[in-house]
Structure 1
Amino acid sequence: MTLAVFAQESVWNFYDAQVPTELRKYLTSAGLVGLIMGMDNILGVLIQPWMGFLSDRQARAGRGRWPIILIGACVAAVPFALIPWTHSLPLLMLCVVAFAATGNAFKGITETLVSDYIAPANRTKAQGFVKAGVSLTIVVSSLISLLVVDRSIRLAFAVPPLLMLLMFAASWTFLGRRHSAAQLSETETETGLDAGRSEHDAPVSPWTTVRQFVRDPTGPRAALMLGIFCFAGMWSALRSLTTSYGTEILGLSRGAAGGLTLPGAIAFLVCVVPIAYGSTRLGHARAMRYGVGMFVVGLLIGFASPTVAGTTVAMIIVSLGYASFAANALVALWDLAPNKYVLGTYSGLYTVAASAGASLGPALLGATVDLTGWRFMLLNAAVFAAITFGVFTHLVRRTTRSPASAI
């Protein structure tokens, strides 16, 4: 499972780090670049819930989720590799849109594999290992930026999709083909959210699930979705604009600026599993709130010290804050699902909230950069993150008042 998530994130992290610079060859507005970088998340809102629903039906029918993942990965690799070969904005946009659409078709489904192989009580710990794999892709993306981008941008864009295909093949060989019998049996899943559910419970459409959210707009599910929306927006904005910040404020080359996230990725890799284990006792909501608090502190440190060293320290603290969120958010939403046959749909709804936030975050932060300049980017991000802290504080209070819905 970690290999599978590593495979897909290997392309998305490099996409976030280097596509903005490709766009800036044709565009001067940071807000417009941020808006385009958020477009893949808008496509995710439209595509992922339905693909999650389709994967639930495939899993219930015994065919599994792997065919969707493998076909999607093969198709998405092509437009991604072609991005640096384009010589005009229309062709670049064609490749960007094609990759975003096909990449989103299997993105949420890959993370749902955790629910197929891991019992509910152990999913937070499993997410820790999965997110460690994600952080490793940030390390890989940063190393590609440092070692390859300044030498050959075309080769640099060819490495992540090749890595994605190789890792998916290895993951499928281990889980999808050789160990299909390892998937959870009915008795193993008859705990947690499945307790007392009928064996005939079936996947419901995303629209039905959305109506359930609408009927309880002040409940923990709605609050959690809002928190996911806010945090994902700021994280995506930071990832999309950090390379440009490094070139504009720190005076780094494009490759060196792309490597600014490397120390934070290493810190994430080292700490995310212990954070996941600690979260099982602390509670999902509290762990995420503490993570947002660290995120704000890191941004303020980076603003106060606009140097390579100060920015590096800021990225480390910010990454640790995000680790606490990443290890808990999806598991917290799964815990609120009515039965195991909607986990793919709930994963899709998670990506709706995350994608909607990530589609607006880069454009919103980019717009503030247009108004205040690159020097104030981290301070602007800290203000938005403080709002996110308020959302998770409300969620903690909401779940504390209602122990039955505590997460």
Structure 2
Amino acid sequence: MKFDWKKTFVLGFGFLGISVIWPLFNSLIPPFLEDLGLSALVVGFILTWDNLINMFVQPWVGARSDRTRSRWGRRKPWLMAGAPLAAVFFILVPFVRTNFALIALAILGTNIGMALFRSPTVAYLGDLYPAEQRSKANGVINLMGGVGGAIALFGGGALYKIGVPLPFIVGALLLLIAIGVVLAFVREPAAPQAANEVVAPGVWDSLRDVSRGDNPNGMYILLAIFCWFIAWNAVEAFFTLYVRNVLGIAVGSGTQMLTAFAAMLILFAIPSGLIATRIGRKPTIMIGLIGMTIGLLLALVLTNTLQLLVLLALMGGFWALVNINSLPMVYDVGGNHAIGALTGLYYFASSLAAITGPIVAGGLIDLTSHRAIWPFAAVFMLLALVMMSRIKVSRT
């Protein structure tokens, strides 16, 4: 089957839209919450609300979308419901930032809207591509996500300096445009014939499938995903506070610094898929984890802004090796009969990690200083490397 580059770039708009929102959310909302007088622990807890919701909503939506039947297909109804809801509440955030109850409501609404359509959007990777093309396709899709992240971080930081609400308004509009492209131009394949005869398994059935028997690969990959997302979510949640409180850099400039990370993620997205196709997914991910661990330890001792910027760029390349190939590995373990449920399972592990990371890291910061995010993240990245080393595969 010939790889369809055009179709893949069009599909990537879905991930571009998703990736515009989260960098703005994670970099601009924490200062709002800190300005309300909240501790780092409470800020970290609020930043996990989306993941508390995701733990329950995304797996359910992913499995439910496997069984959805409509004139628009299985996945598109969820995109049509979730994206507008997320956009409206995201726009409200800066306008209510001085009132805790209202900003909490706006954050909650954004989280619910995003949770309704992310799993069905990402499930297209499994719907539209055979196993041997998924790393390459995920590379293209994540390249588009990297473009969205770079637009959000650099453009969002610049817009923030002009007017605080602007990055939220523009980000929401970009989300709607990107999801509109997917709705208009992605042709969903017909539901598998077996789905008319056998009910596709839900997320808990899929979890049992990957954890039982003599093959522990499924649990090891989920534990690895859990560990590396604990690490990166802690860094992402507290980076702007770290640069403001430790390095004396303004929030808008700190947000722009993360553009270096996003830019290298863009550049290495497609090469990461090609590398995995050649040497295998496991060794590719392990190389990325080693690089990330070293980078996190180096960040602890760097105080020069330019040096930190270069380090973030290098880490973006290593993160691409990890991030591009993890979901295809989950599909390899679980098979093709429940792509939506397996996508939900992937996000279950990452959401649980994103709940744990900011809360524990925030508590550690309260006890020590903002510098603690770097060794904290390095430990969990190393644990992810240990989990990956235990996966026994010939070539995935």
Q: CA deviation at 1:231?
A: 0.8
Tell me if 1:52 matches 2:27.
no
Tell me if 1:116 matches 2:135.
no
- Structure 1 residues 215, 185: closer, same or farther in 2, change over 3 A? closer
State whether residues 48 and 358 of structure 2, in contact with CA within 8 Å, keep that contact through their aligned partners in structure 1. Answer: yes
Structure 2 segments unaligned to the other structure (5+ residues): 1-10
- Structure 1 residues 277, 42: closer, same or farther in 2, change over 3 A? same
Tell me if 1:65 matches 2:75.
yes
SS in 1 for 2:200: coil
- Structure 1 residues 295, 147: closer, same or farther in 2, change over 3 A? same
Distance in 2 (alpha carbons) for counterparts of 1:78 and 1:96? 11
Q: CA deviation at 1:155?
A: 1.7
Percent of aligned positions with the same letter in both sequences? 23
Distance in 2 (alpha carbons) for counterparts of 1:256 and 1:245? 12
Deviations 1:64-83, CA, capped at 9 Å, x for gaps: 21111122101111111101
Out of 249, 254, 259, the residue aligned to residue 251 of structure 2 is 254
Indicate the residue corresponding to 1:270 in structure 2. 267
Distance in 2 (alpha carbons) for counterparts of 1:70 and 1:199? 24
SS in 1 for 2:388: helix
Out of 336, 347, 351, the residue aligned to residue 351 of structure 1 is 347
Distance in 2 (alpha carbons) for counterparts of 1:211 and 1:62? 31
State whether residues 127 and 276 of structure 1, in contact with CA within 8 Å, keep that contact through their aligned partners in structure 2. Answer: yes
Distance in 1 (alpha carbons) for counterparts of 2:208 and 2:32? 40
Indicate the residue corresponding to 2:165 in structure 1. 154
Q: Which moved more, 1:364-373 or 1:273-282?
A: 364-373
State whether residues 268 and 321 of structure 2, in contact with CA within 8 Å, keep that contact through their aligned partners in structure 1. Answer: no
Distance in 1 (alpha carbons) for counterparts of 2:191 and 2:110? 35
SS in 1 for 2:337: helix
State whether residues 24 and 33 of structure 1, in contact with CA within 8 Å, keep that contact through their aligned partners in structure 2. Answer: yes
Tell me if 1:165 matches 2:173.
no
Q: CA deviation at 1:273?
A: 0.7
Indicate the residue corresponding to 2:111 in structure 1. 100
Indicate the residue corresponding to 2:30 in structure 1. 20
Indicate the residue corresponding to 1:282 in structure 2. 279
Opposite residue 251 of structure 2, the aligned amino acid is: R
Distance in 2 (alpha carbons) for counterparts of 1:40 and 1:288? 26
Opposite residue 390 of structure 1, the aligned amino acid is: V
Tell me if 1:81 matches 2:91.
yes
Out of 15, 34, 45, the residue aligned to residue 35 of structure 1 is 45
Distance in 1 (alpha carbons) for counterparts of 2:379 and 2:133? 35
State whether residues 230 and 380 of structure 2, in contact with CA within 8 Å, keep that contact through their aligned partners in structure 1. Answer: no
Q: CA deviation at 1:302?
A: 1.5
The number of residue pairs the alignment matches comes to 385
Q: CA deviation at 1:128?
A: 0.3
Indicate the residue corresponding to 2:200 in structure 1. 203
Deviations 1:162-207, CA, capped at 9 Å, x for gaps: 10001111222111xxx45xx37979xxxxxxxxx99955411223
State whether residues 60 and 341 of structure 1, in contact with CA within 8 Å, keep that contact through their aligned partners in structure 2. Answer: no
Opposite residue 161 of structure 1, the aligned amino acid is: A
State whether residues 232 and 377 of structure 2, in contact with CA within 8 Å, keep that contact through their aligned partners in structure 1. Answer: no
State whether residues 131 and 272 of structure 1, in contact with CA within 8 Å, keep that contact through their aligned partners in structure 2. Answer: yes
State whether residues 83 and 92 of structure 1, in contact with CA within 8 Å, keep that contact through their aligned partners in structure 2. Answer: yes
Distance in 1 (alpha carbons) for counterparts of 2:22 and 2:195? 38
Distance in 2 (alpha carbons) for counterparts of 1:384 and 1:167? 33
State whether residues 209 and 334 of structure 2, in contact with CA within 8 Å, keep that contact through their aligned partners in structure 1. Answer: no
Normalising by structure 2, we get a TM-score of 0.91
Opposite residue 354 of structure 1, the aligned amino acid is: S
Distance in 2 (alpha carbons) for counterparts of 1:198 and 1:106? 21
Indicate the residue corresponding to 1:362 in structure 2. 358
Tell me if 1:224 matches 2:217.
no
Opposite residue 167 of structure 2, the aligned amino acid is: A
Q: CA deviation at 1:108?
A: 1.4
Distance in 2 (alpha carbons) for counterparts of 1:372 and 1:274? 39
Q: Which moved more, 1:239-248 or 1:204-213?
A: 204-213
Distance in 2 (alpha carbons) for counterparts of 1:290 and 1:307? 26
Distance in 1 (alpha carbons) for counterparts of 2:126 and 2:301? 42
Structure 1 segments unaligned to the other structure (5+ residues): 188-196
Q: CA deviation at 1:28?
A: 3.8
State whether residues 24 and 167 of structure 2, in contact with CA within 8 Å, keep that contact through their aligned partners in structure 1. Answer: no
